[in-house]
Structure 1
């Protein structure tokens, strides 16, 4: 037997696998590294988060990624080189994190690497006849495996598309396996660059579970801050937005996207919700000259409104689901306040209440997907659009 497969065979037999889950989102602020102990599979999955850290990107590295991110005119040579460079940078970050935690590489069974999304192109966005759904995450898994010496599972979204999904969001799988609770309707709300949620029904029926993007989370606010405030990448604690006044005219125009009225499940990205979208809305609403802080206040309200509308669409205005929030949006007090006021019957929590650090949640979910690739893959989510019952990820061998 090839020594790589012998190693994987031994990992599969272990009662608990030590898996590092990686996530770098559209905010491009850094790499989330979650060191997890994962046992069981399917609905018997158990996870303990052993260590977690976010390693910030340098300004130069951020600029390199931004030069090819969500751009139709991206330099193909740069895309090619960054596929390798991102993997090598991530590998160094992983090795440093492992060392800082007192571990050695041979004590880690698997790395689950999401990669860095640089373009997301489902049919619903590109609208081109004769072309399929598409998405691209770079940060080559083979480079990570060879550099770290650890089996790496990467490129999860391609199987989802091949099996009839749109490549996003993938949280539905881990959310269902970890967080479903009999007798409680739950919304697992992740507010990253794009806001998405997973609906977990109180009857625990996997065939009813779905995950969907709902619209912009932090992406428009972050893009606007980066353009208009030198040296800032986001509006920390909503300090700028809180000093502004919401423009109802601009808000009404922002809410006119056809995506917001589309049925669940659906997926989107900065390819739609970007500064061009904002500029078009400002021109149409006659708000090109309002203050920057008023624009930010309106963008924050826009994100809150699309989340509120999506949850009400799922449950109705009178229902009171339990909403568990994760992602960078948990650090925006203005956004959270608007959500609580708009969904006054809901109970709000973070995933801390479920013993998962909300900042670590996405990394943990990819660790779960890797675990399912190795020992699971038997959960049936029904024959539905957007939630194919598939095993995801490509296995990259270290030697």
Structure 2
């Protein structure tokens, strides 16, 4: 038997695997690195996060990626060279974390690398009948493996697409394994670049889990700040948006986007919700002369409206729900206040920290869980939910 295969068998048989989860979201504000000990698999999974850090990207990272990010026409050479460059960079950042934490690479069983999404394109978005759902993440897993000397599982979304899914959101798999409850209806709300939710009914089977992208969270806010308030990268503590007033005309135009009315499950991204969409809505609503702080206030309200409406709808259908929030939007005080003000009495919002996981670490931890399932689990059964196919995800890259 090849030594690599023997190693995979050994990892599958270990009672506890030490896994580093990596996540770089559409906000591109840094690489989340979570060092986890994962015991068991499937519904018997237990996880301990030993270390977590968000590693700042080097100067110019965002600029390089934004040359190809969510754009239909790009320089193919630039896209091609970014793929290994990001993989190597992510590997270097892992090495720096291990040195800081005084952990040897030999003590890590596997790295779970999400990569950097540059284009997400489900069929109902591209509307090309001869082509399937599609999504593209770069940051080659082989480069991560070689740079760190650690077995790497990467490119999780492609199997999901190949099996009939849209490649996103993948959070439902890990959310069910770790956060499902026999005692309450739970919603895991991630306010990243795109706001997404996982609904976990009290005592429900895994196949009843519902996951969906609601609409934009930070992606349009951050893009607007970067365009008009450079060198600011985001609206820290809502300082800018709190100076503005909501434009009801612009808000109405934003909320008219047909995606918001689509039933769950559904996926979207910055390919749809971006500054071009904002500009079209401003033109339609005759609000091009708005002060920049008023636009930011309105974009914040736009996110709050779409999130609160979906949460209220779940409560109306299922009864009381407990919402556990994570992602960068959790640190946006105006956004969180506006969401809470719009919620019905049947919806209560808490930080994911109440369930024992650092809210900022959640996405990286979820990919560590997916890698654990790839190595030691069974295909996750979502058999009657076509949006969440019954598959193992991730491609394995050996370090030599």
If the TM-score is normalised by the length of the shorter chain, which range does it land in?
Answer: over 0.9
Q: In the alignment, which residue of structure 1 is the partner of 2:221?
A: 221
- Partner SS for 1:144: helix
Q: In the alignment, which residue of structure 1 is the partner of 2:10?
A: 10
Q: In the alignment, which residue of structure 2 is the partner of 1:256?
A: 256
- Asked if the contact 2:87/2:143 (under 8 Å) is kept, the reply is yes
- Asked if the contact 1:42/1:378 (under 8 Å) is kept, the reply is no
- Partner SS for 1:181: coil
Q: In the alignment, which residue of structure 2 is the partner of 1:370?
A: 371
Q: In the alignment, which residue of structure 2 is the partner of 1:358?
A: 359
Output the CA distance in 1 between the equivalents of 2:41 and 2:338.
37
- Asked if the contact 2:312/2:344 (under 8 Å) is kept, the reply is no
CA-to-partner distance for each residue in 1:211-245, whole Å, 9 max, x for gaps?
10000011110010010001011100111001110
Q: Which moved more, 1:223-232 or 1:125-134?
A: 125-134
Output the CA distance in 1 between the equivalents of 2:380 and 2:8.
22
Output the CA distance in 1 between the equivalents of 2:2 and 2:380.
30
- Asked if the contact 1:195/1:213 (under 8 Å) is kept, the reply is yes
Alignment partner of 1:304 is 2:309? no
Output the CA distance in 1 between the equivalents of 2:61 and 2:270.
19
Give the Å deviation of 1:128. Answer: 1.6
Within-5 A mapping of 1:87-126: 87-126=87-126
Q: In the alignment, which residue of structure 1 is the partner of 2:143?
A: 143
- Partner SS for 1:360: helix
Alignment partner of 1:391 is 2:389? no
Listed as ranges, the gaps of 5+ residues in structure 1 are none
Q: In the alignment, which residue of structure 1 is the partner of 2:349?
A: 348
Output the CA distance in 2 between the equivalents of 1:260 and 1:377.
34
Give the Å deviation of 1:98. Answer: 0.7
CA RMSD of aligned residues (A): 1.1
Alignment partner of 1:26 is 2:5? no
Q: Which moved more, 1:305-314 or 1:348-357?
A: 305-314
- TM-score, normalised with respect to structure 2: 0.98
- Asked if the contact 2:173/2:380 (under 8 Å) is kept, the reply is no
- Asked if the contact 1:325/1:349 (under 8 Å) is kept, the reply is yes
Output the CA distance in 1 between the equivalents of 2:26 and 2:355.
25
- Asked if the contact 2:225/2:233 (under 8 Å) is kept, the reply is yes
- Asked if the contact 1:247/1:298 (under 8 Å) is kept, the reply is yes
- Partner SS for 1:316: helix
Report how many residues are paired: 399
Give the Å deviation of 1:318. Answer: 9.3
- Partner SS for 1:196: strand
- Partner SS for 1:232: coil
Within-5 A mapping of 1:323-338: 323-338=323-338
Output the CA distance in 2 between the equivalents of 1:350 and 1:391.
30
- Asked if the contact 2:11/2:376 (under 8 Å) is kept, the reply is no
- Asked if the contact 1:222/1:233 (under 8 Å) is kept, the reply is yes
Give the Å deviation of 1:378. Answer: 4.5
Output the CA distance in 2 between the equivalents of 1:291 and 1:79.
36
Q: In the alignment, which residue of structure 1 is the partner of 2:267?
A: 267
Output the CA distance in 1 between the equivalents of 2:365 and 2:203.
24
- Partner SS for 2:267: coil
- TM-score, normalised with respect to structure 1: 0.98
- Asked if the contact 1:91/1:144 (under 8 Å) is kept, the reply is yes
Output the CA distance in 1 between the equivalents of 2:272 and 2:379.
35
Give the Å deviation of 1:317. Answer: 8.2
Q: In the alignment, which residue of structure 2 is the partner of 1:53?
A: 53
Output the CA distance in 2 between the equivalents of 1:382 and 1:186.
22
1:252–1:317 distance in 2 versus 1, CA, 3 Å: farther
CA-to-partner distance for each residue in 1:252-295, whole Å, 9 max, x for gaps?
00011111111110000000000000000001111000110000
Within-5 A mapping of 1:32-51: 32-51=32-51
CA-to-partner distance for each residue in 1:273-328, whole Å, 9 max, x for gaps?
00000000001111000110000000000001111112223232894310000000
Q: In the alignment, which residue of structure 2 is the partner of 1:382?
A: 383
- Partner SS for 1:189: strand
- Partner SS for 2:360: coil
Listed as ranges, the gaps of 5+ residues in structure 2 are none
Output the CA distance in 1 between the equivalents of 2:240 and 2:59.
22
